[in-house]
Structure 1
Amino acid sequence: MGDSGQKPHAILICYPLQGHVIPSVHLACRLAEKGFTVTFINTHSVHYLLTNSNGRDGDIFSGIRKPGLDIRYVTISDGLPPEWDRGVNHDQFMASLLHVYSAHVEEALKKILTSSEDSGGPPVNCLIADTFFVFPGKLAKKYKLLFVSFWTEPALVFTLYYHLHLLRLNGHFGCIDMREDDIEYVPGVKSIQAKDLMSYIQETETETVCHQIIFNSFRDARNADFVLCNSVQELEQETVAALQEKTPFFAVGPIFPPVFAQSAVATSLWSESDCTQWLDKKPHGSVLYVTFGSYAHLSKQVLLEIAHGLSLSKVNFLWALRPDMVSSDESDPLPEDLRAEVSDRAMIIPWCSQKQVLAHPAIGGFLSHCGWNSTMESMWCEVPMLCFPLLTDQFTNRKLIVDDWKFGLNLCDRKPISKLEISEKIKLLMGGKTSDELRNAVKQVKKTMEAALSPNGSSQKNMDKFIKDVYTAIQQK
């Protein structure tokens, strides 16, 4: 495919958050395997964390580079010192991405363009950037490049942001007295409850830096030549079909490495504990895996209720508990007596290889914040979920998990959670009739994902069509 045409050379700009790094790295690898030259732009800060976590400095793609696989690697500043804590200083970090980062990207872009011309290498003709960046469409237009917007979340979330003007017009967003009835007017979405909208849409304060990023990034994304989405067409058939009427939208997920639980490229921003020996000693399907992602925080009160709920449930559990989960000042928020109480059936570690853990036969359930990577990995490993979303797309992902695909249980709806409720929900998830129903449902979802990735599956066909269309568009430029 495309042998007679000019080879695509894509600059891929990775959004500097853990949940975006993972699919961006694997997209770069997949496109390189399909014949693209890819120049991957990372921030100094993410590069610093990636290399610190795995003890190897330098180019993160060095382990896979070989003849015919052309991935280049560039790191640039995001406008802030590399070692500065972006999680604690969230608003300042987001403000830098909104106002400052584009200047650093453009400077790097000009160097790459000049270098390609001077070296006689493949000329740059494509800019692939995370949809949440506010500037790529403008840069692509300025430097006469194709603009590919990369969406790392489900199509449902994309279409709700894309149609934010309809939500505002109908009083479901941006009003003092927002409507709470069901939303039934968004193209490709039969019905969705207000509580299942992304957290930023549910907020009455809409002047924050994150809202500015959302508004500006989706204004920019409307000008994309193509949108790549890390989801599966059959899982969101109506939503994807409606979007395809408005924009060249390709569902190409799940974007996993060739061997699911192994990545030759570093994608974790933290050092990973090895849990294999502990899991090997546990019975099949007996362990609940617990983690709330790489970025969100919990209050001390909520964390303790969860911990006591886990203790009351009497199940085995593996908890990846980030040191900064409550605050950066308290590295161990769990009381010593609680740790002692569960020590015979619990492993509590700071971070782990989530793919390896979910793929282990001892894992029988996943108590999760419902981040999209976590959701897709849980589906692939046929692990039912207990859903406790914390922010952004996680509330909408929960709707898909619980209501649409029916392989998860809802922990609560923003009401105060109690250890008794947590314990009861864990028991339902891990054993009995409800657990069997969830496991049967997630097996069906896995089959759909596998079919999409098969040689004649929708994700493979969509990726091939995208590449063919890119070749055509390059010839026409």
Structure 2
Amino acid sequence: MENNNNSNSNSNHEKQKLHAILVVLPQQGHVIPFVHLAIKLASKGFSITFINTDHIHHKITLSNATVLEDGGDIFVEARKKYSGLDIEYVTITDGLPLEFDRSLYHDQWRGATTYCFPAHLELAVSKIVRSRPLVPCCLVADSYFVWASKLASKFGLFHVSFWTENAMVLDIYFHRHLLKENGHIGPGSSVRKGSIDYIPGIKSLNRTDLTSYLQEEDLTAFHPQYNFQALDDTRRAHFILGNTVQELEADTITAVEAHVPFYAIGPLFPPGFTKMPVATSLWAEFDCTLWLDSKPPSSVLYVSFGSYAHISKEELEEIANGIKLSGVNFLWVIRPDMVSSDDPDPLPDGFRDEVRDRGMIVPWTCQKAVLSHRAIRGFLTHCGWNSTLESIWCEVPLLCFPLLTDQFTNRKLIVDDWKVGCNLCEVKPVKKEEVMRKIKDLISGTIGCELHKRIKGIKQMLHDAVTIEGSSEENVDRFIKELKIAIQKK
């Protein structure tokens, strides 16, 4: 009888849809790939519950009023476009008022996601699990949450960690004990010389290629400690899904897989690349198409430092003056809080008037649409991972100016390993004269031509990975198969 019951149970699991609760880190750079992941899993037969914060949902609905009616479900259009998608949309508070400036008071916001948000999430997950008592279920949480394995364990869920960055950063964090033993992180590490050639899966890197938090000498500070706790929690996950490509980081992924099963399923883009079926922008997007249409092919520098990182006023002024001296056409995204929420227009006095004939400055735009436009020749970027993948997909060489977190490691891959970009400045502080030279070289010099040739090969790897028989598609299917096996064994 016992064997028959187990057989019937396994049979029921096979017939039932797998249910995944997705919990996204409340930042735009994480929301975008999480939305694509939700659609990808739903298209593979999963029933999805997507949990967003009230604050992120509020910003999305304000910025996309013409798309979302009555502040509604962000997946409405996706369900219309792709029939059969089973995605439920839920929002909960992160513990802070909607009007609270999370950009200006970042530490308080991070504290709320650590100590307040989990309580609200636990109540939501409890209700969701009770409503589906017989459905096999897993919790898919951002790798930068510190409580995911504990929450999954409490409700008997499989813990799937979603890693939104490159595999090299994950590998570095998993082996940070080696960095500490060799004196490359922690007190006195800033004067440590020599390359780092002892991390499994990574041939060599410099201390300046580590994430910004690992470059801090005081690793007892809040942000390094938070990241350490989050990545230690990720090591306790049953599975890790990564927004990267197997062929791009094969050795590094192998090193990560020694700790946790890892599935490279990137790049996670919408079908058609620019045709986004879900509104995710936290700011109203300005349409730059007509202005770009008026410029010659391959003549425009696109400048954006992403949705989250900040830049000092001094650095921004040097970059602005370097752009002015270069004489090139440019499209520049100046986010209202890029320097500070208290300084909505940090550009040098008179800059806008002086470059009016060849420059367009907007607070936000659709980056995919810009990068895929024929007029764009180069991308001056903070090296965010989404921006890196999007630029490579569009065969646009990168001019790198990393600011925070994984961006320094992304720069290493872009410039040193894949050779599809170059540094804006070799040594900080950045100076306008060097900015001018680097921009000219990228837009109209031999360096730009060489980078453009190389990036085609890397783009082909990304393209091949997401085809029906590509590695990323195969890895998604392999993850689903192995999750089902784990459920049957449970």
Relative to structure 1, is the Cα distance of residues 63 and 332 closer, same or farther in structure 2, using a 3 angstrom cutoff?
same
Q: Which amino acid is the alignment partner of residue 87 of structure 1?
A: S
Return the match for 1:153 from 165, 185, 188: 165
Matching of residues 64-79 of structure 1 within 5 Å? 64-65=78-79, 67-79=83-95
- Corresponding position of 2:360: 347
Do the aligned partners of 2:235 and 2:259 also contact (CA within 8 Å) in 1? no
Residue range with higher mean Cα deviation, 334-343 or 455-464: 334-343
Q: Provide the C-alpha distance between the structure 1 equivalents of 2:465 and 2:260, rounded to a whole number of angstroms.
A: 21
Contact 1:285 1:361 in 2 (8 A): yes
Question: 2:42 is matched with which residue: 7, 11, 32?
Answer: 32
Cα deviation digits, residues 225-272 of structure 1 (max 9, x gap): 110010001111110122223220111100011120111101111110
The alignment status of 1:109 with 2:125, answered yes or no, reads: yes
Matching residue's letter, 2:152: A
Q: Which residue of 1 aligns with 2:21?
A: 11
CA deviation profile, 1:361-384 (whole Å, cap 9, x unmatched):
110000000000000000000000
1:164 aligns with 2:176: yes
Is the contact made by 2:298 and 2:375 (CA closer than 8 Å) also made in structure 1?
Answer: yes
Q: Determine helix, strand or coil for the equivalent of 1:65.
A: helix
Q: Secondary structure at the match of 2:213?
A: helix
Instruction: Give me the whole-angstrom Cα distance separating, in 2, the residues matched to 1:414 and 1:144.
Output: 50
Q: 1:456-467 residue pairs with structure 2 within 5 A?
A: 456-467=469-480
Residue 138 of structure 2: aligned partner: 126
- 1:52 equivalent among 59, 62, 67: 62
Runs of at least 5 residues in structure 2 that lack an aligned partner in the other structure: 1-10
| Residue 97 of structure 1 pairs with residue 100 of structure 2 | no
Deviates more, 1:292-301 or 1:353-362: 292-301
Runs of 4+ in structure 1 deviating by more than 4 angstroms, as ranges, are: none
TM-score (norm: length of structure 1): 0.96
* Aligned partner letter, 2:122: E
Letter in 2 for 1:468: K
1:385 to 386, 398, 405: 398
CA distance in 2, matches of 1:106, 1:187: 36
Tell me how far apart the structure 1 counterparts of residues 120 and 279 of structure 2 sit (CA, whole Å): 24
C-alpha distance in structure 2 between counterparts of 1:180 and 1:13, whole Å: 40
CA contact (8 A) 1:358 1:378 kept: yes
What 5-or-longer segments of structure 1 have no aligned partner? none
After TM superposition, give the deviation of residue 412 of structure 1 in Å. 2.0
Q: CA deviation at 1:35?
A: 0.3
SS at match of 2:51: strand
Structure-2 residue corresponding to 1:61: 75
Q: How far did 1:393 drift? A: 0.4
C-alpha distance after superposition, 1:174-225 (max 9, x if no partner): 2234523211111100111111111000001222222222111111111111
Q: Deviation string for 1:311-341 (max 9, x for gaps)? A: 1101000001111222212221224522111
Shift in Å, 1:475: 1.8
Q: In the TM superposition, what are the counterparts of 1:219-368 in structure 2 within 5 Å?
A: 219-368=232-381
Partner of 2:30: 20
- Is residue 92–residue 120 contact of structure 2 (8 Å, CA) maintained in 1? yes
Residue equivalent to 1:431: 444
Alpha-carbon distance between aligned partners in 2 of 1:145 and 1:85, rounded to the nearest angstrom: 34
CA distance in 1, matches of 2:124, 2:211: 33
Q: Please tell me whether the aligned partners of residues 6 and 475 of structure 1 are also in contact (alpha carbons under 8 angstroms).
A: no
Deviates more, 1:448-457 or 1:354-363: 448-457
Distance 1:448 1:163 in 2: 27
Of the structure 1 ranges 378-387 and 141-150, higher mean CA displacement relative to structure 2 is found in 141-150
| Aligned amino acid, residue 63 of structure 1 | E
8 Å contact from structure 1 (residues 188, 238) kept in 2: yes
> Counterpart of 1:21 in structure 2: which amino acid?
V
The 2-side partners of 1:451 and 1:238 are apart by 19
After TM superposition, the structure 1 stretch with the greater mean CA deviation from structure 2, 78-87 or 390-399, is 78-87
Contact kept in structure 2, 1:38 and 1:70, CA below 8 Å: yes
RMSD, matched Cα:
1.4
Q: Aligned letter for 2:270?
A: P
Partner deviation per Cα, 1:373-418 (whole Å, 9 max, x = no partner): 0000000000000000001100100000000110101112451111
CA distance in 1, matches of 2:113, 2:194: 35
Asked whether 1:183 is paired with 2:199, we answer: no
Structure 2 CA distance, aligned partners of 1:116 and 1:205?
Answer: 46
Structure 2 distance, partners of 1:431, 1:346, is 17
Give the secondary-structure state (helix, strand or coil) at the position aligned to 1:41: strand
Alpha-carbon separation, structure 1, partners of 2:31 and 2:170: 18
Query: In structure 2, the residue corresponding to 1:440 is in which secondary structure?
Result: helix
- Return the alpha-carbon distance in structure 1 between the equivalents of residues 136 and 107 of structure 2: 33
Q: How many residues align?
A: 472
Paired position in structure 1 for 2:6: none
Q: Who is 2:389 aligned against? A: 376
Query: In 1, Cα distance between the equivalents of 2:469 and 2:259?
Result: 25
- In 2: Cα distance, 1:176 partner to 1:435 partner: 38
